[in-house]
Structure 1
Amino acid sequence: MRLESRKTDEGQHVVELAVPAMHCGGCIRRIEGALNALHGVVGARVNLTAKRVAVRWEGEDPPPLLETLQDLGYDAHFYSPTEDRKDRVLSELLRALAVAGFAAGNIMFLSVSVWSGADAEARDLFHWISAAIALPVLAYSGRIFFRSAWAALRRGQTNMDVPISIGVLLAFGMSLYDTINHGPHAYFDATVMLLFFLLIGRTLDHVMRERARSAVAGLARLGARGAVVEDEEGGRRYRPVEEIEVGARVLVAAGERVPLDGEILAGTSDLDASLVSGESEPLTVAPGARLQAGTLNLTGPLTLRATATARDSFLAEMIRLMESAEAGRGTYRRIADRASRLYAPVVHSLALLSFFGWMMVAGDWHLAVTIAVAVLIITCPCALGLSVPMVQVVAARRLFDQGIMVKDGGGLERLAEVDTVVFDKTGTLTLGRPRLLERNSLDQEALGIAAALAAYSRHPHSRALLDAAGTQVPGTAFEQVEEQPGYGVEGRSGDAVYRLGLPSWALTNEEDAGEGGTVLSRDGRLLAVYRFEDPLRPGAVEAVSALRRRGLALEILSGDHPAAVENLARRLGITEHRAATRPADKAAHLAALAGSGRKVLMVGDGLNDAPALAAAHVSMAPANAADVGRNAADLVFLRDSLEAVPGALEIAERAGRLVQQNFALSALYNVLALPFAVLGFVTPLIAALAMSLSSILVVANALRLNGSRRRSWRSATSKAHQASPATAPEAAL
């Protein structure tokens, strides 16, 4: 335990444990409660999405964490980032569902023969065949519920799987008893059909939960696996990043990501820091500058002195922020989890009262058990189990048709609750791709020369020049081209020297460039000045207007410089904005908003947004976001338009209403059906049929979301936008 723990600056220890069997809000309460009660434990936080527990402990002797989890019924082990991520639980659920579905269909065929008037010998034969089919299905498919129920009962507790297991086993036991004694009725069909419907709900729910993968793995993949290190004699060799110590000389070639936090010893270059800091403009660096792990080296080779190990680098800090934020979101208990807390004790009590009541009235234990089984079956939470995942699956399909991918069903629930929307700037409200201004008014010959030089550079402004020039502008041939990292590109054509880059480097008289920008010069004389902008993302104005009409508070939270953020906020009419914010500052600001009771939707795209995306009540990211940003977000919109944000909000709100309707239908069904079961008017078979009808009703109600005739969010937004006079910010655009 001590070796697996990481020591903090406060002298405490932090260890991560993988707990694969966690599956609901009840697991969070039990695990955190038990671990926090241990002597020496400072705090324990569960990350339900990643199925991990982070425990902070202090003292000489490690607390018995694994033993405590084992006593709770959870097998746990030390977490390793290289663990196999294959979803074995889903494979088990699908196999169990297939077996139960196949068996239910065959037993129902046999039951139809019995109902059609088979004689006693044929009826007994069909009952025995049904029993032979149901028994292995019960053992194989039913273990999904039996395992969970037994783990709860061993601890003297209960959960939703306990009444399910009791009902299934009692129904099978009574059917087998009646078959042995040549009884006229057996309920093997009800038993297997019950398992089939329950497994449908359990599988759908698991699929929606497991789509919310932890973003930490994606963040770790963003870092370099190793780097070239130069020793004191000048020798070079590749070393894993974990083995590089503070003070080592690290070589970073153009096009590579900076592997560790460090200080530049030699070389100049341009860095793309947009994913890390949100800065839209490339950053020119020279000896003495400090770099953060994860930034992209664009133009020139650099030699760094490592100032932090891999465990203490900027990326490592980001990983810790992400884990903390995801663990905080993991405490959110989904609607089904909250509803299930009341189910088990209520159903147990009703079934037990029915048994004792009929024993007192009739004195027939067989009748009393049959009625108790009918009560358990008719109140089985099939409809309750399907209420949420079915709506979420249909909503996810509707959103996908609109170009929005849902990663987490819980995210849909949270999305319907938001009252505040916080936007990142670069790559979210804007496209994050510089665009050349005043393209048509520029000198075409000069543009061709600039594009020919830009072809030798990876600088974002060079790519923008190439895009603007296209294939229509004739280029210029150069005998020699050389990029000067941090300054620009120089080319020689005959006796002329052309330079594309900083005015201070390219021009003999820097003042000729006016307000600056990227300049093209010939022998030090100005030929052209090129200025760039980061264009608004399509639909940004319409999306902001639609969100404002919904009464939501809007804010911009960016790592870019204040002037750029203020200008964009003014154009969009967003009064609340913060600039030059670090990733930790973003996460802290969202935590402060949450602390004041706000339910925040964070829309961002970069590595610097990842902790904020995880810390927000719910989050969205564009498809062109950094991998870690997409992994951290609950929803990803696949098209460029930002109108996906109000569109997703509308569908989430309608899905929330359907979930509430489904719960109401489930409750109404139980209120109407339960008295008939308690009074003995319902056999277990009729109870199973009624339970199935309630499940079908819930599914049909969920499908209303798919067949709605309402206007699409896109047309509604555009029509409302056309009908209302343009506001000042919109008119300015």
Structure 2
Amino acid sequence: MAVQQDLSVFVHHHDGIDGMELAVDGIRCAGCMHAIEKGLKRDSSILSARVNLALKRVTVEWREGVLRPEAVIERLARLGFKAYPFLPSEQQDSVTREEARLLRYLGVAGFAAMNIMLLSVSVWSGNASDINPVTRDLFHWLSALIALPTAAYAGRPFFESALRALKAGAVNMDVPITLGVVLALGMSVVETWNHAEHAYFDGAVMLLFFLLIGRYLDQLMRRRTRDLAGNLAALKAETATRFERDGTTIVVPIAAVSPGDLVLVQPGERVAIDGLVETGRSEIDQSLVTGETMPMLVAPGGRVHAGTTNLSGALTVRVEAAGSGTLLDEIDRLMAQAVESRSRYVHLSDRAARLYAPLVHATALATLLGWIAFGLPWQQALIIAITVLIITCPCALGLAIPAVQVVAASALFRRKIMLKEGDALERLAEADMVVFDKTGTLTLPEPELLNADSLDVDIVRQAAALAAASRHPLAQAISRAAGDPAPVHAAHEHQGLGLVALVDGSEMRLGSVSFCEAQAEAELVAAAFPTTSLIAWRHGDACAVFAIGQRLRPDAHACIAALRQLGLGVMILSGDREAAVASVAQELGIATYRAAMRPDEKLLALADLAAGGCKILMVGDGLNDAPALAKAHVSISPVSAAHLAQAAADIVFLGDSLAPVAASILIARKARRLMIQNLWFAVLYNAVAVPIAIAGLATPLVAAAAMSGSSLIVTFNALRAGRGAVSTAAERTIS
């Protein structure tokens, strides 16, 4: 008796709609995506079914109470796909297991192919008249002993996929592969049993070997290096300090916090909830969430958001949302929708595969029937049909894209650029508009002391020693400027104002301009650095004001110039304040920019650009950029970015230089040219080879050799993606 499952715990409820996210095994291409979506939507009780091809997940929604969640999994099983509720840890384990499985299959197929080829060479090393039939049959049976179990084991990825497709009433690329391998092996056994001169065990196993190379490379390029949900969880506080009715406090899990509760947020803590401040004053670092570089002063009546950091003072906050419904949760929802939308991009190889399978089947069947009609015995006609299947089997097609991706990824890696999505190269080559975030992207991620040259070295050293006693990001910038000295002992922090310590018998202060009574000095510094944050220092009569801001990345000007030479438009969308964004845009000569943008506003701006026909490359680093990075046609983040931004991006780069942005576009454009060349070669190869096979002028062994040769040519052409001298002005600019 089958064990009943209860999956109700995995169902999400919202406004009378139930939904569930499922991880699905066996999703490989756009054809699988369409088969699942169409198959599920045939059930009238299912409102929507959306496949995320990149993450191999399916989101299904239905009206509350009309469907059991177990029925969705059963429906997917009837379509030939095994599904289970999505759990981040299990999904990562599944990806790792699949890579290890393909590598095992590849190793077995390669080892078997070498041994079978060795036996074949031994049989045919002399003249045909000198071959001993007994020896020949023995070697053929030895080949069969190696090839049959090898094919049964190493061919499983193709056989299982073909069976799923046939059960669902569809045809994919793995169906002709399976037919070719099974028929070649079956015919070889028959030929060996009848003491024929030829057997084609080597061709069948070599076919599997080359196809597994392509499948494994494709799996490597599709694997994501981080899980989105896991990175978002790292930003969410697990607990909160809640006030009880008697005034005492207790630390509780965030799930136990409800709207209306009072919570305490201590200095240095990450805010766990969205809410309104009831008592206390502090500064909130919200750069991770909104992109605003300056800490925000909050007082009673001010609003704080989950994911931000409380810098200086204790706050009592009335909860508006905890867990779900927070700004952080909204960013997660926006990003999930954006990733799902982008996953519908159809790869070059998928587009080619849609035409390939039906053409191969039709050609092989027509060849078989045609030769039988001309009076050829069915055995010989079948051999010719098998030859057609083998000679057209998609080794060149299967390697055309992954081989270029791997070589191009290596070339990018040498330039400290890490490719996370294989099809990102294709999308990057299509980009015609680059949209930059400002904070941490065009500028360096950490604030710096900008007016150090105009300050006395001894004053900077003393201020830095006092600043080292604070965790405030602006104070830390002063501390770093002096080499992170040992902090002043017994420093006391005044909430929202600054630090005080007794040094050499007199009071030393570091903090706001008013706290240090430095208004006159601040006016002079503000005139020279109008968009920076000002921190004042006073020790007795000595006074100084520090301008703290973010410098442009060292080659930002060169990068923007290179992008324009490549014919791309450039603009800025930032969550930072208007003055700061305008200053950077003016310095870099970028005419189009928008400031103070929320994550949803960035998404709308990108949607407007896409509606106008733009293929957008988004470059950003903050949590507020994550939905935009996922929504854009293609995206890049510096490795210093928030974990969630890195997870949403297709490409990440190391270092302070912006050169990788332009360099990645150059390499992507070259890689796409090579992909198209490889696909055209596969077409031309078939245009020449198929008529020869149809005419009966090739055997399955010759077909296997031709197939192997085409794969080698495609691979050698792919190697060009990693080579090439600097030739264009844009390339010289970024070199």
TM-score (norm 2): 0.93
Deviation at 1:6?
A: 2.1
Q: 1:455 aligns with which of 462, 468, 488?
A: 468
Distance 2:90 2:371 in 1: 54
Residues 565 and 730 in structure 2, CA contact (< 8 A), matched pair in contact too: no
Q: Which amino acid aligns with 1:336?
A: S
Change (3 A) 1:643 1:494: closer
Q: Distance in 2 between matches of 1:365 and 1:718?
A: 63
In structure 2, C-alpha distance between the alignment counterparts of 1:390 and 1:170, rounded to whole Å: 28
Query: Please, which of 635, 660, 669 is the counterpart of residue 676 of structure 2?
Result: 660
The aligned counterpart of 1:404 is: 417
Structure 1 residues 272-317: Cα deviation after superposition (integer angstroms, max 9, x where no partner): 2111000011222233321111112233333333211201112211
Equivalents in 1 of 2:291, 2:611: separation in Å?
Answer: 25
> Cα distance, 1:440 vs. partner?
2.4
- State which of 423, 430, 434 in structure 2 corresponds to 1:417: 430
**In structure 2, what is the Cα distance between the partners aligned to 1:437 and 1:209?**
43
User: Residue in 2 aligned with 1:89?
Assistant: 98
Contact 1:49–1:212 (Cα < 8 Å) also in 2: no
Distance 2:564 2:179 in 1: 52
CA gap of 1:412–1:529, structure 2 versus 1, over 3 A, is same
Are 1:545 and 2:561 matched, yes or no?
Answer: yes
How does 1:623-642 map onto structure 2 within 5 Å? 623-642=639-658
CA–CA distance in structure 2, aligned partners of residues 499 and 124 of structure 1: 95
2:119 to 105, 110, 113: 110
Structure 2 distance, partners of 1:203, 1:686, is 26
1:225-263 deviations in whole A, cap 9, x for unaligned? 223333223444332222222223333333331112122
1:316 corresponds to which of 329, 336, 339: 329
Return the letter of the residue paired with 2:514: S
Paired AA for residue 585 in structure 1: E
Pairing 1:600–2:619 present = no
Who is 1:670 aligned against?
A: 686
CA contact (8 A) 1:220 1:319 kept: no
What are the ranges of 5 or more consecutive residues in structure 1 without an aligned counterpart?
A: 720-733
The 5 Å alignment of 1:216-235 reads 216-235=229-248
What residue number does 2:3 align with?
Answer: none
Report the Cα offset of residue 265 of structure 1: 3.3
- Note the C-alpha offset of 1:59: 4.5
1:519–1:526 Cα contact (<8 Å) kept: no
Residues 650, 73 of structure 1: alpha-carbon distance in 2 compared, 3 angstrom cutoff: same
Q: 2:491 aligns with which of 481, 488, 493?
A: 481
- 1:7 and 2:23 matched: no
Letter paired with 2:18:
H
* Alpha-carbon distance between aligned partners in 2 of 1:245 and 1:615, rounded to the nearest angstrom: 32
> What is the deviation of 1:510?
4.3
Equivalent residue letter for 1:100: A
Give 1:213 deviation, angstroms.
4.9
Distance 1:148 1:691 in 2: 22
Aligned to 2:441: 428
Equivalent in the alignment of 1:679: 695
Aligned to 1:394: 407
How many residue pairs were aligned?
713
Deviations 1:174-211 (A, max 9, x none): 00011111111111111111100010001101110113
1:502 corresponds to which residue?
Answer: 512
Amino acid in structure 2 at the alignment position of 1:73: G
Report the counterpart of residue 530 of structure 2 in structure 1.
Answer: none
Matched residue SS, 2:61: strand
Secondary structure of 1:261's aligned partner: strand
Distance 1:461 1:114 in 2: 78
Opposite residue 83 of structure 1, the aligned amino acid is E
1:693 to 709, 717, 720: 709
- Asked if 1 retains the 8 angstrom alpha-carbon contact of 2:18 and 2:61, the reply is yes
1:690-722 deviations in whole A, cap 9, x for unaligned? 000000000011112223234498861158xxx
| CA distance, structure 2, for counterparts of residue 594 and residue 254 of structure 1 | 42
Structure 1's 512 and 716: CA in aligned 2 closer, same or farther, altered over 3 A?
Answer: closer
Greater Cα shift, 691-700 or 268-277: 268-277
Alignment of 1:151 onto 2:184: no
Superposition pairs for residues 322-361 of structure 1, below 5 Å? Answer: 322-361=335-374
State whether residues 237 and 272 of structure 2, in contact with CA within 8 Å, keep that contact through their aligned partners in structure 1.
Answer: yes
Query: Do structure 1's residue 48 and structure 2's residue 48 form an aligned pair?
Result: no
User: Counterpart in 1 of 2:375?
Assistant: 362
Does the residue aligned with 2:92 lie in a helix, a strand or coil?
coil
**Does the Cα contact within 8 Å between 2:468 and 2:488 map onto a contact in 1?**
no
The one-letter code matched in structure 1 to 2:509 is R
Would you say 1:131 and 2:144 are equivalent positions? Answer: yes
Change (3 A) 1:479 1:196: closer
Q: CA deviation at 1:268?
A: 2.9
- Alpha carbons of structure 1 residues 638 and 512: separation in structure 2 relative to 1, 3 Å: closer
Q: Which residue of 1 aligns with 2:24?
A: 19
Q: Structure 2 stretches of 5 or more lacking a match?
A: 1-6, 527-533
Whole-angstrom distance in 2 between the partners of 1:11 and 1:419: 42
Q: 2:196 is paired with a residue of what secondary structure?
A: coil
Instruction: State yes or no: 1:206 paired with 2:219.
Output: yes
* Residue in 2 that maps onto 1:490: 500
1:515-530 aligned within 5 A: 517-522=534-539, 527-530=543-546
Secondary structure of 2:321's counterpart equals coil
Write out per-residue CA displacement over residues 149-198 of structure 1, whole angstroms, 9 at most, x where no aligned residue.
11111222111000000000000000001111111111111111110001
- Quote the residue 1:292 is aligned against: 305
Q: Distance in 2 between matches of 1:104 and 1:300?
A: 70
* CA distance 1:175–1:650, change in 2 (3 Å): same
The answer on 1:180 being equivalent to 2:186 is: no
Task: Measure how far apart 1:327 and its partner are.
Answer: 0.4
Quote the Cα distance in structure 2 between the aligned partners of 1:658 and 1:619: 22
AA in 1 matched with 2:596: A
3-state SS of paired residue (1:29): helix
Cα distance in 2 for partners of 1:116, 1:624 equals 60
Q: Distance in 1 between matches of 2:252 and 2:723?
A: 58
Write the deviation string for residues 631-684 of structure 1: whole angstroms up to 9, x where unpaired.
111111112111111111111000010011101111111111111100111000
What is the aligned counterpart of 2:80 among 73, 84, 99? Answer: 73
Check if 1:563 corresponds to 2:579: yes
Q: TM-score, normalising length from structure 1? A: 0.93
User: 1:540-564 CA deviation, whole Å, 9 max, x = no partner?
Assistant: 1001111112221111000000111
Partners of 1:154 and 1:84 in 2: how far apart?
25
The residue number in structure 1 matching 2:4 is none
Alpha-carbon distance, 1:495 to partner: 4.5
How far apart are residue 626 of structure 1 and its match? Answer: 0.9
Q: Percent identity?
A: 48
Q: Distance in 1 between matches of 2:266 and 2:90?
A: 31
What amino acid is aligned across from residue 664 of structure 1 in structure 2?
W
8 Å Cα contact 1:413-1:652 kept in structure 2 = yes
Asked if residue 243 in structure 1 is aligned to residue 256 in structure 2, the reply is: yes
Q: Does the alignment pair 1:163 with 2:176?
A: yes
**The 10-residue stretch of structure 1 (577-586 or 242-251) with the greater mean CA deviation from structure 2:** 242-251
CA distance in 1, matches of 2:337, 2:225: 16
Q: 2: distance between equivalents of 1:239 and 1:31?
A: 42
Q: What letter matches 2:717 in structure 1?
A: N
Which of 579-588 and 40-49 deviates more? 40-49
Which residue of structure 2 lines up, in the alignment, with residue 725 of structure 1? none
Range with bigger deviation, 114-123 or 153-162? 114-123
Alignment match of 2:389 (pick from 376, 379, 386):
376
Q: Which amino acid aligns with 1:65?
A: V
Q: Are the aligned partners of 1:501 and 1:520 in contact in 2 as well (CA < 8 Å)?
A: yes
1:44 counterpart SS class: strand
